[in-house]
Structure 1
Amino acid sequence: MEFSIKDIIEAGEGYHIEFKEFLDKSFVEEVCAFANSGGGRVILGVADNGTIKGTHTDNSFRSRVQDSLRQLQLYLDIEIRVQDNLIIVEVPEGSDKPYACSRGFFIRNGANSQKLTRNEIIDFFQKEGRIRFEELRNEKAVFDNDFDERAFENFLNMAGVSRSIDRMSLLRNLDCINDEGKLTNAGVLFFAKDIDFLMNHAIVVCVLYKGTEKVHILDKKDFKENIVENIDNAILFVKRHTNVQYKIEGVQREEIPDIPDVALREAIINAVCHRDYFDRSSNVLIEVFDDRVQISNPGGLPSGLRPSEFGRKSVTRNPLIASLLHRINYIEKVGTGISRIIQAVDENKKSSVEFEYNSGFSVIFRKLDRTSEADLGESSEKTKGKNAEIILEAIRDNPTVTREELCQITGLSIQGVEWNLRKLKAEGKIKRIGPAKGGHWEVIDYSC
């Protein structure tokens, strides 16, 4: 399936397309990145914003392009062709990765090229494989039956893409269909009618629990739409089941949620975008408890990202998905999500955030105590004494009792239990022996 250069430029830069207004030192870096990824085109004579500026196309200039390509190590058969006042450099996916240039090793990360060490590239391809899930053809999908025109139109509106390009050409430029016009896995995620049938493990599961344990389910939703709607629905689910306080100044009312909107949105998008889609055993899972919200996805840190680099360096597991989400402004800039979450939580001051990564990845928002004394079970001396007495009795019976178990025994929230424990310790009635994990309580004074 052939497409005109005008169509490609109209669609903009992406995982397989790079515009270069000039032949500069970064040119060979882009070529190297394409060779180490899925291949692509570098179009010389086009500005980053898609404006056609034109470039020299004479033999002397083409020789300069060839000289730049000779920096690539190892050799790769790269086609150079001239169309009007542009030079198109067709870079195939390399069969002998990793490739390097004089400035180092590079790989494609969304619509950008990122420098890596050789060992990181070797490790990346050993663990992730040379074929990416998002680029594979979906064997179940039949385009005429499964393609959702409504989802496609919504995407074009959000991305601001011109309707002057025919649908199939645009889908191919977006890498959502292959050369035979078959939907890729990325195409299914963004534009399929029934993701449940075609890719069941891509469903987003949201659960609301009563209390702080996984015992009583109050609400559960399996979101089975396209990836964009699943993100939106998951965000709404959490917001519907978490608290919002109101700050009124004059005639203005400000909403202050337990979890800042920016942090919640980034965490859910991160889970859906960066999960390991080769792992078909589990879904993105969002769990809402009385004291926390936990967002988990299969796949720990991607290859090439060490724990010490977490939050400071970006390595994208699914660069095509990231690129498509970037087009519709669901991702502002690759690599900034974790920093934005931390900053938003710090400014909000109503929750804390933790990150866990091993075989999976989790973001845990813990709600901080911002309730009134009445909410903590101390609205009266009678209530206060009753709760303290119950806690002392529970500790006497079981010195290793947990805060979560005390919640169930007293009926208080986790914040209420912690308030009472702090007060009992301050009054010298109890003390903690040993660490938080593995230690136990000791009752010193039974009087309340």
Structure 2
Amino acid sequence: MRDFVKLIDELRKFENETSWIEFKCNNYTPETIGENICALANGAALHEKRCAYYVWGIEDKTHDVVGTTKDFLSLKKGNQELELWLRTMLSKNADFEYHCVDYLGKKVGLLLIAPAEKQPVVFQKLAYIKVGSNTKKLHDFPEVEAKLWDRLRNVNFESRIAKFDLELQEVAKLLETSVYIEMRGMPQPANMEGAIHYLMEEELVLRQDNGLFAITNLGALLLARNLNDFSRISRKAVRVIQYADNSRLDMLKENTGTKGYVVDFERVMQYIDALLPSREVIDGALRQTRSAYPPLAIREVVANALIHQDFAITGTGPTIEIFPNRIEITNPGIPLIDVRRFIDNPPKSRNEKLALLMRRFRLCEELGTGWDKIVLACEQALLPAPRIDVYEEGIKVTLFAGMPFASIPMEDRLQACYLHACIKYVQGEQLTNSSLRKRFGLSASSSGTISRLIREAVLRGLIKALDPDTAPKHMKYIPEWA
């Protein structure tokens, strides 16, 4: 439960009103309230505050407690409830909640206002902002408006709050702080006070205006003891499903994680590995069990699904589906770069802090090298190339189990040819008939088959000759975009 008394104590310590704090005695003029809610929401976004505050019953100059005689929730605008009228007049990205607080023996009204998201909050089709102690139209201050838009464009899901108003002990109950310290390779602090410093440095936990703590979405996603404790992100848990055959008609097993990504990552990897088909091989004098898929490739694809998902798409999260002949890893959100340029393009993520920490904890490869390693691992295991399918609100990566070259569909052969050319190119080499035969595990007798595949890839605009005038026997190829 939020400690509103402590919050008001902290707000009164501010020497003057700010762009995100407004004190009033008994001014409940509907239009004034609407303009101020709008201005405070925009002010909180501009100054990167987690909340704005509209307080009745406190004098704005001295901050003396005078109390208020009215109740916001009982007021009306004409025949309509004031709150409903305000929500109708404000833009859809405006949100607020009211609390009546018994403060030092007097009634104080407290309106908590969420910062603007995606675009400025408007009231009756106009945006407002606080300039000093005055509420002004935003368009009259173009420099402030430009700065606000810049802030709004750069606000991300990771920085938003998953849980408010927590005592230190409550943070410890909700987050696996010891896992964070262990993954950082640091000695465990003697108490929570020692650990909270590091969590705040990473913006996994924030100190609020009232002196209590808040857990960010990033902190909950990575370190939650139970994601169900955080209603806004509980649906972002990793889901693993195994099917009896190559369709989705017969589900054998389903497991949905309940812990943060860092806390649960190794368990998820072990669970997936236990469901995958494997085979025994003789390596020297030893008999070993090998998975049908390269562990590095699976690890990277799953980590990428966690890192690159679009958290703005609600109701769904990363899903790993295991079939006898393939694994499909799906995450919400379309890629930010062309899927054909995954290998050579500079990395780009919509969740930079999440990506940084996942890599710092060594749960995935260094920035920009993951897809290269996925493709190389599949090549070295002589598996078909990974397939990428992009949908309206998601992306699916499919890893295929081993199969004879003759059974690989033409589209997947062409994908393997193209990715092989990309890998060779970033290594400073070129695709040749010989290198592509080696990639598929074929002998020299298959040279003609590979030549036909290369010609088809050229016709499809996937690859091109490095030097078209070279003799056919010595021809080398590079990606079409190179």
TM-score normalised per structure 2: 0.47
CA drift of 1:265 comes to: 0.5
In the alignment, structure 1 residue 131 sits paired with structure 2 residue 136: no
Retained in 1: the 8 A contact 2:224–2:260? Answer: yes
Q: Give 2:225's aligned residue.
A: 193
Retained in 2: the 8 A contact 1:352–1:368? Answer: no
Q: How do 1:52-71 residues align onto structure 2 when only pairs under 5 Å count?
A: none
Q: Give 2:39's aligned residue.
A: none
Retained in 1: the 8 A contact 2:177–2:195? Answer: no
Check 1:193–1:141 CA distance in 2 against 1; reply closer, same or farther (3 A cut).
farther
Secondary structure of the 1:213 match is: coil
Cα distance in structure 2, aligned partners of 1:208 and 1:349: 24
**What do the CA deviations read for 1:260-285 (whole angstroms, capped 9, x no partner)?**
00000001111112111121121111
CA drift of 1:197 comes to: 3.4
Cα distance in structure 2, aligned partners of 1:147 and 1:192: 10
Secondary structure of the 1:129 match is: helix
**What do the CA deviations read for 1:159-207 (whole angstroms, capped 9, x no partner)?**
2135569222111111101232311111111222220231222111111
Letter in 2 for 1:279: I
Q: Give 2:262's aligned residue.
A: 228
Cα distance in structure 2, aligned partners of 1:245 and 1:348: 13
Cα distance in structure 1, aligned partners of 2:309 and 2:338: 17
Check 1:333–1:137 CA distance in 2 against 1; reply closer, same or farther (3 A cut).
same
CA drift of 1:309 comes to: 2.9
The counterpart of 1:300, out of the listed 329, 334, 344, is 334
Letter in 2 for 1:349: L
Retained in 1: the 8 A contact 2:223–2:263? Answer: no
Compare CA radii of gyration and give the structure with the larger one: 2
Letter in 1 for 2:318: V
CA drift of 1:149 comes to: 7.6
**What do the CA deviations read for 1:285-316 (whole angstroms, capped 9, x no partner)?**
111112111000001112xx234432322001
In the alignment, structure 1 residue 311 sits paired with structure 2 residue 343: yes
Q: How do 1:404-443 residues align onto structure 2 when only pairs under 5 Å count?
A: none
Cα distance in structure 2, aligned partners of 1:216 and 1:204: 20
Secondary structure of the 2:155 match is: coil
In the alignment, structure 1 residue 290 sits paired with structure 2 residue 324: yes
In the alignment, structure 1 residue 158 sits paired with structure 2 residue 183: yes
Q: How do 1:16-35 residues align onto structure 2 when only pairs under 5 Å count?
A: none
In the alignment, structure 1 residue 243 sits paired with structure 2 residue 277: yes
Cα distance in structure 1, aligned partners of 2:284 and 2:358: 39
Q: Give 2:202's aligned residue.
A: 174
Cα distance in structure 2, aligned partners of 1:258 and 1:132: 38
Percent of residue pairs identical:
19
Check 1:349–1:162 CA distance in 2 against 1; reply closer, same or farther (3 A cut).
same
Q: Which runs of 5+ in 1 are unaligned?
A: 1-37, 39-121, 371-448
Q: How do 1:48-447 residues align onto structure 2 when only pairs under 5 Å count?
A: 129-139=153-163, 142=166, 144-145=169-170, 147-148=172-173, 151-163=176-188, 166-180=194-208, 181-198=213-230, 199-302=233-336, 305-312=337-344, 313-358=346-391, 359-369=393-403
Cα distance in structure 1, aligned partners of 2:307 and 2:199: 19
Cα distance in structure 2, aligned partners of 1:316 and 1:275: 9
Check 1:148–1:252 CA distance in 2 against 1; reply closer, same or farther (3 A cut).
farther
Cα distance in structure 2, aligned partners of 1:330 and 1:249: 28
TM-score normalised per structure 1: 0.51
Secondary structure of the 1:333 match is: coil
Letter in 2 for 1:338: W
Cα distance in structure 2, aligned partners of 1:174 and 1:255: 40
Secondary structure of the 1:343 match is: helix
Question: Matched residue pairs, number?
Answer: 247
CA drift of 1:146 comes to: 5.1
Cα distance in structure 1, aligned partners of 2:288 and 2:165: 46
Q: Give 1:92's aligned residue.
A: none
CA drift of 1:357 comes to: 2.4
Letter in 1 for 2:184: A
CA drift of 1:365 comes to: 0.8
